[in-house]
Structure 1
Amino acid sequence: MLVQTSPPAIEPVTLAEARLFCRVDGAGEDALLASLITAARQDAEMLLQRSLITQGWRLVLDAFPAGAIELERGTVLAVTSITYADMSGATQPLAPTDYATDLSGCPGRITPGYGKTWPAALPQIAAVNIDYTAGFGPAAEDVPEGIKRWIKMRVATVYAHREEVATTGSTPHFFVAGLLDPWRVVRI
Structure 2
Amino acid sequence: MAELLSGPAAEPLTRAEAKAYLRIDGEAEDALLDALVPAARRLVEVETGRALMDQTWRFSLDRWPLRGVIPAPVAPVRQILSATVEALDGSTAPVLSGALTLVSDRAPALIRVDGTRVAAPARAHGGIVITLIAGYGPEATDVPADLIQAVRLVVAHFYEHRDGPGDATALPAAALALMAPYRVVRL
Q: TM-score, normalised by structure 2?
A: 0.91
Q: Retained in 1: the 8 A contact 2:157–2:172? A: no
Closer/same/farther in 2, CA of residues 90 and 167 from structure 1, 3 Å limit: closer
The Cα shift of 1:39 comes to 0.3
2:110 corresponds in structure 1 to: 109
3-state SS, counterpart of residue 96 of structure 1: coil
Specify every segment of 5 or more residues in structure 2 that has no aligned partner in the other structure, as ranges: none
User: Counterpart in 1 of 2:70?
Assistant: 69
Q: How far apart are the structure 2 equivalents of 1:112 and 1:146?
A: 34
Alpha carbons 2:71, 2:108 under 8 Å: kept: yes
Any residues of structure 2 matched to 1:163-178 within 5 Å, and which? 163-166=163-166, 173-178=172-177
CA RMSD of aligned residues (A): 2.0
Tell me the residue number matched to 2:179. Answer: 180
Alignment partners' CA distance in 2, 1:108 and 1:173:
29
Whichever residue aligns with residue 112 of structure 1, its letter is: V
- Return the letter of the residue paired with 1:116: T
How far residue 163 of structure 1 moved from its aligned partner, in angstroms, is 3.1
Check the 8 A contact 1:63/1:123 in 2, yes or no: no
Greater than 6 Å deviation, 4+ residue runs = none
Contact 2:11–2:140, Cα closer than 8 Å, also in 1: yes
Count of aligned residue pairs for this structure pair: 186
Amino acid at match of 2:116: K
Cα displacement string for residues 25-47 of structure 1 (whole angstroms, at most 9, x for unaligned residues): 01221110010001000000000
Q: Post-superposition shift, 1:74?
A: 1.1
- Give distance in 2, aligned partners of 1:141 and 1:167: 31
Query: Partners of 1:95 and 1:37 in 2: how far apart?
Result: 40
Q: C-alpha deviations, 1:134-162, integer Å up to 9, x for none?
A: 10110011111111111111111211221
Closer, same or farther: CA 167–102 of 1 in aligned 2, 3 Å: closer
Counterpart of 1:146 in structure 2 is 146
Structure 1 spans left out of the alignment, 5+ residues: none
In structure 2, the residue matched to 1:54 is 54
Q: CA separation in 1, counterparts of 2:183 and 2:61?
A: 25
Tell me the residue number matched to 2:100. 99
How far the C-alpha of 1:89 sits from its partner, in A, is: 2.3
Cα deviations across residues 101-147 of structure 1 (Å, max 9, x unaligned)? 2122211222223x725311113322111000010110011111111
Seq. identity, %: 34
SS of 2:163's equivalent in the other structure is: coil
* 1:173, distance to aligned residue in structure 2 (A): 4.9
CA distance in 2: counterparts of 1:40 and 1:173, whole angstroms: 12
| Amino acid in the other structure paired with 1:126 | G
Tell me by how many angstroms 1:172 deviates.
Answer: 5.3
- Cα distance change, pair 138–167 in 1 and its aligned pair in 2 (3 A): closer
Alpha carbons 2:154, 2:175 under 8 Å: kept: no
Q: Is 1:37 aligned to 2:56, yes or no?
A: no
